[in-house]
Amino acid sequence: MSRPTPQCPIRPGEPCTLCQAYVTGPEDCQTVKLVMEDEDLRAELAVKRRQHRERMRQAQGGP
Ligand code: SF4
């Protein structure tokens, strides 16, 4: 049985594509680590996640 594809924590709604060198997933992705360690980038990510949730809700016919 195969594992489900993990989601990229910094690209809301997208799977991890192993786009960084020597990465095995989000767990050891240095890009994710850098974003999570930076207050401004974390805030920007929160905005992107909210926008993604909003798009998903609209796509599903929500208010
Ligand atoms: S390697 Fe890192 S930045 Fe690239 S898709 Fe996976 S988690 Fe996201």
Kindly give the confidence (pLDDT) of every residue in the chain, 63 residues in length, as a single tens digit, with 9 standing for 90 and above. 677 889 999 999 999 999 999 999 999 999 999 999 999 999 999 999 999 999 999 999 876
Residue 35, in any domain of the structure: yes
Residue 31, in any domain of the structure: yes
Q: Residue 44: which domain range? A: 26-59
Ligand 1: lining residues by beta carbon, under 6 Å: 8, 10-11, 16-20, 23, 26, 29, 31-32
Residue 39, in any domain of the structure: yes
Domain count of the chain?
1
Task: For ligand 1, atom 5, name the residue with the nearest CA.
Answer: 16
What gap in Å lies between CA 21 and CA 62, rounded to an integer? 39
Residue 5, in any domain of the structure: no
Q: What are phi and psi of 17, to 5 degrees?
A: -105, 10
Residue 50, in any domain of the structure: yes
What gap in Å lies between CA 61 and CA 63, rounded to an integer? 7
pLDDT at 63: 67
